[in-house]
Structure 1
């Protein structure tokens, strides 16, 4: 159904599914604790519905997934980076029975761990550069080669390949959440977590805990994600004077993910507590770093203060904090996400020109990320629906490139 609604705003999508369910506006509004007038304005684009906690509540009452309402396109364009094997190949690799029945795995070339590490690094670098097409093309073969290596090696080499495969599943989770494949992201995250446990790698296990939380977020299971992070110290431990910089980085990043989950669950107290935990870790590091591809440090904590403010509906705070954050020390994916967040805040105050400028800037940095993100597409669609008179050429061109025109 998602393909049928990709050129609709979130409000129009709610209307589409509501009618398919045979519900009146009054009934659906009551189910989510809102007024009929509010829902009417949402469905007619007079209120821009951008808080994921509210969207998830509507999705639950309509008996659809969060991504059905967000309509994130999993279609990945072919290109030099991808070839003609993208999301379907990654799906087949994650769901193949050969991963579950080792005795029936195909014989393939056995690669040394050093060569596999180079490929894992390339995939993670691509994620942080928002090259999602490259990732969907590269991940299937990498997962299969690593799974074979885990099966064939013994001792330290086997453990090293388990660690690399766990991190590859984590990268898979990341790109799958970006392109709207929430169910597959959950599969990848759980596989990575299980491998990290087998390898007895506390740093990797902490990193995969964050990955599982990301998968739960993409599925709209915010309270589950909060509980996971809240209980994580009993599994992964806590910071102390002996904690490595790598552990400190993944530990702080885990709490940033938890803060987003808590904000989407409308739990301001837990959001602030998790942000404080992340801030402690960032202060210990003393600078921005990218250990284990976390992009963690004071800047990422500041970015998440903006994001959580928006998730909690505190637009003034987001507009106060957002423009003061310089995201340039961080990888492209983080810079673009911050620009989209600040654009959302400006749009909420009807400052469309500034919001459009930020989205266009983000597109220059990472066109794939902007094309796949539900936030950028819904902003553009809403601006178009509200436009009167001659259409803004920049906006019209952006809508065409996002395939929502």
Structure 2
């Protein structure tokens, strides 16, 4: 399916899979607790469904995964950063059986392990590229990074394992962005296993957050909520006199958990998790980027807008979203917030403002806008809603996103 249904809206995919299942509208509407009129409007693009809680309910009823309805995974374009080896190369690296146990011979036994300083620089470069939304660079570099990190873990003990855990986290981050959810889960699980062997609570907390994001990407929202609580209990002893990095990791865990709770329509836990994150941000005192978390008061505000949209509170997102100044945060955070704000304006039929926001976001991070389901679905919906010929700006954007 990768790339083949990129020009379909979520509603059109719902209709396609419903017909593929041989299911009348009355049956599907009954299974999801909606009226036939509502479902008909969804399938004909008269109603948008962009809340992942609703999308997951429909996906479950159709016995498909969320990615089938939102058009993931997407095809990563070749560019000067990625070359012509992208996700398949990363898949090969993750599925190398020799990584599973030393009994199977290890990885490239005749290779020299990298020194820790070189590997640390490599990990930093990949995370920095991710925060710059350079997905081609991250995907192209991560297979070699993982191979080097496995060798370093064998040669350098706990310091090497820390870098191995972080390398898996980098892989998880980019794979979730591309919708490669099964591979993201493998990377997150491997990273957590490496972190558990170290005994460093900071690295363990960082990988807890990575696993939470992997659960979110697979639509396992209740499990992500549960993991947030469990991981917070594990990290709690470190919070009495924490470093800035620990506050950032701890607070970021609750931000991921708040998204999971919102996608469960769980307002109580959403508010509780945001409150915990806010407390950590207040103790930190300012925005930072410890362990590439981009954590601080601004990221909490970003998540207040994103969770409001997941809960259907468009008014809150409209009131708060445009006033959040994200300029000091990494590009990835800036653009993610921009897409959420555009989503809110679009929900209120303020399409011109929403389009302007998406165009600005594309200028800053073309790869992120190209691969995020929100931007793709917004543009597709606007194209479908046109009574006549779309504006040159919208038509050109759709072409650049390869939606027309």
Give the TM-score normalised by the residue count of structure 1: 0.97
Checking the alignment, whether the CA contact within 8 Å between 1:2 and 1:68 is kept in structure 2 is: no
Alignment of 1:88-99 (within 5 A): 88-99=88-99
Q: 1: distance between equivalents of 2:344 and 2:76? A: 28
Q: 1:161: how far off?
A: 1.1
Alignment of 1:205-354 (within 5 A): 205-238=204-237, 240-354=239-353
Paired position in structure 2 for 1:105: 107
Paired position in structure 2 for 1:11: 11
SS of the residue corresponding to residue 64 of structure 1 reads coil
1:124 corresponds to which of 123, 127, 148: 127
Q: 2: distance between equivalents of 1:132 and 1:238? A: 36
Q: 2: distance between equivalents of 1:238 and 1:395? A: 52
Paired position in structure 2 for 1:82: 82
Larger CA deviation: 279-288 vs 383-392: 383-392
Q: 1: distance between equivalents of 2:257 and 2:145? A: 29
Q: 1:391: how far off?
A: 1.7
Paired position in structure 2 for 1:33: 33
1:135 corresponds to which of 129, 138, 143: 138
1:146 corresponds to which of 130, 144, 149: 149
Paired position in structure 2 for 1:358: 357
SS of the residue corresponding to residue 295 of structure 2 reads coil
Paired position in structure 2 for 1:48: 48
Runs of 4 or more off by more than 6 Å in structure 1? none
Checking the alignment, whether the CA contact within 8 Å between 2:258 and 2:270 is kept in structure 1 is: yes
Give the TM-score normalised by the residue count of structure 2: 0.98
Whether 1:201 aligns to 2:200 is yes
Larger CA deviation: 89-98 vs 228-237: 228-237
Checking the alignment, whether the CA contact within 8 Å between 1:6 and 1:73 is kept in structure 2 is: no
Q: 2: distance between equivalents of 1:104 and 1:304? A: 41
Q: 1:112: how far off?
A: 0.4
Q: What is the number of equivalent residue pairs in this alignment?
A: 401
Q: 2: distance between equivalents of 1:74 and 1:378? A: 13
Q: 1: distance between equivalents of 2:336 and 2:7? A: 22
Checking the alignment, whether the CA contact within 8 Å between 2:114 and 2:151 is kept in structure 1 is: no
Q: 1:72: how far off?
A: 2.5
Checking the alignment, whether the CA contact within 8 Å between 1:108 and 1:145 is kept in structure 2 is: no
Superposed CA deviations along residues 274-298 of structure 1, whole A, max 9, x for unmatched, are: 0000000000010000000000000
Q: 2: distance between equivalents of 1:240 and 1:210? A: 16
Q: 2: distance between equivalents of 1:2 and 1:10? A: 15
